[in-house]
Structure 1
Amino acid sequence: MDEAVVVALGCNLPGAYTSREVLLESALDALPGVGLNVIARSGWWTSAAWPDPSGPGYLNGVAIVETSLSPQATLEALHGVEARFGRARGELNAARTLDLDLIAHGRIVTTEGLVLPHPRGHERLFVMGPLAEIAPDWRHPTIGETASDLARTAQVGRDASRTGLP
């Protein structure tokens, strides 16, 4: 599991969909079409908007995918899915219809435009909580701690909690 390709999904606006859950389920369904085959997925977690909690709350989850794509091609595929779902990149931390973050790709990568593992993913309960749900023993490639340990110590999104949905 340490070699897993980990993708975090999140949104706080449903866009053209009836709910955030429907949007994220649809995004999960779109991943195989871009070469990212979902082999495990967490349930959905809710959390307040960050860094400004007065914004619409987030729904988040994590998927572990299999792919033959390189890390850079995986990131490009994720950005393509975001665009298809109405994501417009602009203001940092703005409300969004879909956010797909590449958290890990089985190795350490440091290039212009891509750093893996994700440099802040381990700090976020809304990432580590869902990851610990499906891969509690996944070990962070640079820190060495498990997803379960990181979920217990995450400082961002401490209000994140599992919903009753999938």
Structure 2
Amino acid sequence: MVENMSVPTEIPEGDLDLEGAVIVALGCNDKGVWASCAESLEAALARFRAEGIDVLARSSWWSSQAWPDPTDPPFLNGVVIVRTEHDPQALMGKLARIEDVFGRRRSVRNAPRTLDLDLIAYGRVSGDLDGLILPHPRAAERLFVMGPLAEIAPEWRHPTADVAAQLLTAMCTVGVDARPQRRL
């Protein structure tokens, strides 16, 4: 069993550079070799450091029905704010490597997955960076992303919409059943 990391779930926003925030969303609805999706996600976070990604703040885990097919296993999601020397493309490469290590297989779009790591924002960078679109084009619609983000950085502003995470939660249209899990 992987213990909860010693990274704070929330650090004062004044201590976070919200303008330059690098935000990664995590998700799982296939526990793979782990006892649970929570264990898988905790293990993935523990691996970030080895890839040159330091977690500065993290949300609690949020559960929601699978989307778009609610008959798939439910998801567990969370968001972290990280610090890294990697540029956006290199960071995506590191995240893809972690997904591979955790048995992520890309078959059908939106199929159940052992680990899903999405780069939501890289500071105020916006646009198409050779196929990497920033900010993530659908993140602002997803409560399972905006809810956890608002939990740790409610005043973070979406780079193109210029709306705070806290306000975006009320506008989400996907995963509206997402709810934070109690910490044990």
TM-score, normalised on structure 2? 0.88
Equivalences for 1:1-166 in 2 at 5 Å? Answer: 1-106=18-123, 107-165=125-183
Residue correspondences, number:
166
Displacement of 1:152 in angstroms is 1.3
SS in 2 for 1:95: coil
Separation of aligned partners in 2, 1:136 and 1:111: 27
Displacement of 1:18 in angstroms is 0.6
Separation of aligned partners in 1, 2:167 and 2:82: 22
Identity of aligned residues (%): 53
**Structure 1 residues not aligned, in runs of 5+:** none
TM-score, normalised on structure 1? 0.98
How large is the Cα RMSD of the aligned pairs? Answer: 0.9
Residues 121 and 77 from structure 1, CA distance in 2 versus in 1: closer, same or farther, beyond 3 angstroms?
same
Separation of aligned partners in 2, 1:147 and 1:89: 29
- Matched-pair contact (CA < 8 Å) for 1:2–1:140: no
